[in-house]
Amino acid sequence: MKQIKWPLLFFAFAAASCMIGIGIAIGERSIAGAIFCVIALVFVMGFGFKKKKQMREAGEL
């Protein structure tokens, strides 16, 4: 079994939390909350993909 890549796991949980936040914001009818969560999701996923590329290039994946 391979080692757990903790940074990637953190980004996955953060992205899932943003998606959950979008659902909660929609349920609460908060446009600002939904927009904030969408923007946060884009940044978190972007940083996650960037980190994965860096790890791949360094031979850690």
> CB-based burial of residue 58 (10 Å sphere; 0-12 exposed, 13-18 middle, 19+ buried)?
exposed
* pLDDT at residue 1, as a whole number: 46
pLDDT digits (tens, 9 = 90+) for 16-59: 999 999 999 999 999 999 999 999 999 999 999 999 999 999 98
Tokens of 51: 């980190």
Maximum CA extent, the chain: 45
Residue 8 burial (CB count, 10 A) = 15
